[in-house]
Structure 1
Amino acid sequence: MSPRSLGQPALADLADAPATSRWVRSGALRLHVLDYGGDGVPLLVLPGITSPAITMDFVARELTELVRPVVLDVRGRGLSDGGDGDAYDITTYARDAEAVISGLGLDRPLLFGHSMGARIAAVTAVRARVPVGGVVAVDPPLSGTGRDPYPTSLPVFLGQLEQAVRGTDADEVARSWPRWPRREQELRARWLSSCGEQAVAATHRGFESEDFFDWWPGVPSPVVLLYGEQSPVVTAEGVRELTDTHPDARFMPVPETGHMVFWDNPPAALKLLREALAYVAAGRAEHAPGPSHG
């Protein structure tokens, strides 16, 4: 099993991010977040299966005039602790999100997740263990038991991890992700080795066994689903099922993007994300709890 590791150049990336590292406990695990501060509505950002928090920096820093982004290093990635082999199911991930919300005192935060993170956001909102103000889910895996498999196989993910552990660079990353901005290729090269093989493998198994549609219809409004127009993860058929099973949701296709919407077309994806966040923030305000009388 490949060990998790981070070199000095990766840690130096944190100094370039306009965010403060904070730590929260979820059970016995220590979870790391990047808190971008400010007085805006809190926004918990939940990244994808092999995306440590720092790889969402280029997204978070574009949102600080609208919200207060708090980006989680999901367990088993980045600087957060890893769990045992059975500690990477969707409910455990949701408990971690709840721990961050409670531990940092985030008041009715908006939840924004990409891919795996979109699943976590949906489940956290449905569980309702902590108050949530709204959800923006971006290109969630729609695979599950009896459905088409997740388009990227586990061997592909593990091959990328092996490259990262032995040492990779932006040029090698670019061969897999040629459309990405150069800085994001560099961050991928430096930070992918912080993702645990056990975490990635267990999460991928969850993509095949945990059905997003068990949770999706119960996600409380306001909720927006963004998806890549060319995504193999959220297909046209998937969009139809998502619409049929949650008619109150708002849907926003992101042009000229696949599954990695923010990396494939940053200007368009960030514009639509800001619109989505403005929409759910307005809904959060409309549903604000009234004054108590006691």
Structure 2
Amino acid sequence: MSWSLAMSKNIETTGAVIHVLDDGQGDTALVFLHYWGGSARTWRHVVAQLKDRARCVSLDLRGWGRSVALDGRYDLDAMAGDVSEVIAKMGLTRCILVGHSMGGKAAQIVAAKGASALVGLVLIAPSPPTGMPVPAGMREAMLASYQNAEGVNEALKILCHRQLPEEDRRQVVEDTLRGAAGAKREWTTAGMLARLDGVAGIGIPTLIAVGDCDHVERADSLREIYGEILPAAEFHILPGVGHLSPLEAPADIAEACSNLLSAVAAG
């Protein structure tokens, strides 16, 4: 099954309709949650390398891609609730959550609740549970950059270390501009600042990966934060990679996911 033939589904959750791409097969499902500005297709290169080994379920988080927040909520708790409901409604009984940046923060909320279906957690350049103390002016500039193609292309100069192929660059622009105004605003005004409770209690195998050229979530800072909060987590540095690692270095991300798949299979 090619990516273009992945099964497209719309799943009703509390207050939203969540669009999902379902590909591959296997006893354990990898559930992918994208960054602020992305969509389910952010993961397409990663899924292409994993779908022969595992079921790959990629979500458009509420307000992004084809997903709609019927109740107008775009906060992290609503987002995490959608993820839990999608897992339950799809009948997934063994899952590894794979969250990137904003999606990583949502993944930490889901994992902290201790759902029985979760057997592993992969955090890719995650927004940390301590919150990001970004000055208001910088957050306003971030939001402004997501309003037009020129702004998104400028943002890519910060988000990426490696130059993206033209097709991927166009995809990033399209996905970003397609995002709901409320979803864009919520992250910069509240989501990225939010502190999370319970993350230290996550007891499933966890792998954290971040590029050494990431200017959004810096490797040294994340190593220090998670070294205290999740000391048992594996921490991987991706050489020469910026913040958009699922697009910049999909083979590295697929390898990280594959390694955790092997670890949870071994028990």
Contact 1:36–1:61 (8 Å) recurs in 2: no
Contact 1:256–1:264 (8 Å) recurs in 2: no
Contact 2:31–2:98 (8 Å) recurs in 1: yes
Match of 1:236 among 196, 220, 223: 220
2:219, 2:94 → 1: CA distance? 31
Q: Structure 2: any 5+ residue segments left out of the alignment?
A: none
Contact 2:145–2:154 (8 Å) recurs in 1: no
Match of 1:227 among 210, 221, 226: 210
Distance 1:159 1:67, change over 3 A: same
1:41, 1:24 → 2: CA distance? 20
Deviating 4+ runs (over 4 angstroms): 168-178
Identity across the alignment (%): 23
- Give how far 1:268 is off: 3.4
Q: How does 1:40-189 map to 2 (within 5 A)?
A: 40-84=27-71, 87-129=73-115, 131-142=117-128, 144=130, 148-149=133-134, 153-164=138-149, 177=160, 179-189=163-173
What SS is found at the alignment partner of 1:209? coil
Distance 1:150 1:227, change over 3 A: farther
- Give how far 1:267 is off: 3.5
1:188 partner amino acid: V
Partner of 1:203: 187
Contact 1:19–1:34 (8 Å) recurs in 2: yes
Q: What is the count of residue pairs matched by the alignment?
A: 263
1:141, 1:171 → 2: CA distance? 22
Contact 2:145–2:151 (8 Å) recurs in 1: no
Larger Rg: 1
What SS is found at the alignment partner of 2:147? helix
Match of 2:7 among 6, 17, 20: 20
Partner of 1:245: 229
How large is the RMSD of aligned CA atoms in angstroms?
A: 2.9
Distance 1:263 1:151, change over 3 A: farther
2:213 partner amino acid: Q
- Give how far 1:77 is off: 0.6
Contact 2:24–2:53 (8 Å) recurs in 1: no
Task: Please list the CA deviations of residues 169-228 of structure 1 after superposition, one character each: whole Å capped at 9, or x if unmatched.
Answer: 99878766561122211212333222112112112233443124x343122221111111
1:241 partner amino acid: I
Distance 1:30 1:58, change over 3 A: same
Contact 1:19–1:35 (8 Å) recurs in 2: yes
Instruction: Give the alignment's TM-score, normalised by structure 1.
Output: 0.79
- Give how far 1:143 is off: 7.2
